[in-house]
Amino acid sequence: MTTYVALLRGINVGGHHQVPMAELRAACDAIGLRDVATYIQSGNVVFTSPSSERELVSTLAAGLADRFGFTIPVIVRDAAALAAAAEAHPLSPLDIEEKLLHVAFMAEAPDAEAISGFDLTRYAPDDVVVRGREAYIAYPNGSGRSKLTLDVIERALGTTGTARNWRTVQKLVALATDAGSGG
């Protein structure tokens, strides 16, 4: 059994696509996931499964659409990949306040051409560094009014993603580590 974290995009935001966490846990249990736990209302699910990441994305997306009646983009990382992504953050909390850091977890790694063509100068002072399937984001003035939105990042990189703030990433790493150790 492998410990995974599923990151759901666009639920419980602005009164749209409401997914109560108890129902989300029940839906995950119903499709065979084990040791299911959720963290905050934004769609973070920690669980164990013998399935592969690719299988889980497909199974979760189909199961959640059946249960809730709308499509929910799903990004999955195993506990080790999530921890490695957190450790690799190039925009260190030593350089900027934690609350101003985010990670966008992408479904696929963008190609080099998309990354090199992403003109960040128009979003200054905001910054993005792409490494593998993660886009590390710093919002020095906060993310609330930034024009560097997840939609902008997805269009530029040509892949679907979902973003979490640094504190949430750290908490998910801790939860996944605890779940993997039987804690």
| pLDDT at residue 183 is higher than 60 | no
Whether residue 110 is found in the same domain as residue 51: no
Residue 182 has pLDDT above 80, yes or no: no
Q: Does residue 128 sit in the same domain as residue 52?
A: no
pLDDT at 49 over 60: yes
Residue 88 pLDDT: 86
Q: Cα separation of 134 and 37, whole Å?
A: 23
Task: Tell me how far apart the alpha carbons of residues 135 and 147 are, in angstroms, rounded to a whole number.
Answer: 16
Within this chain, do residues 77 and 92 fall inside the same structural domain, yes or no?
no
Does 179 map to a domain? no
Q: Looking at the whole model, is its pTM more than 0.85?
A: yes
Domain that holds residue 34: 2-81
- Quote the pLDDT of residue 80: 96
First to last CA, the chain: 15
What percentage of the chain reaches a pLDDT higher than 90? 77
Q: Is there a single domain that holds both residue 44 and residue 119?
A: no
Domain count, the chain: 2
Give the mean pLDDT of 40-66: 95
Asked if residue 65 lies in contact with residue 11, where contact means CB atoms within 8 angstroms, the answer is: no
Residue 164 Cα distances to 2, 122, 138, angstroms: 22, 23, 12
- Tell me if 134 sits within 8 A of 85, measured CB to CB: yes
Instruction: List, for residues 122-178, the tens digit of each pLDDT value.
Output: 999 999 999 999 999 999 999 988 999 999 999 999 999 999 999 999 999 999 998
The mean pLDDT of the chain is: 91
**Mean pLDDT (whole number) for 7-13:** 85
* pLDDT surpassing 70 at residue 14: no
What is the reported pLDDT for 57? 97
In a domain, 49, yes or no: yes
pLDDT of 93 > 80? The answer is no
The structure tokens listed for 100 are 């101003």
Q: Is residue 180 domain-resident? A: no
Higher pLDDT among residues 182 and 168, named by residue:
168
- 3-state helix, strand and coil shares in percent for the chain, rounded to the nearest 5: 40, 25, 35
Q: How confident is the model at residue 85 (pLDDT cuts 50, 70, 90)?
A: very high
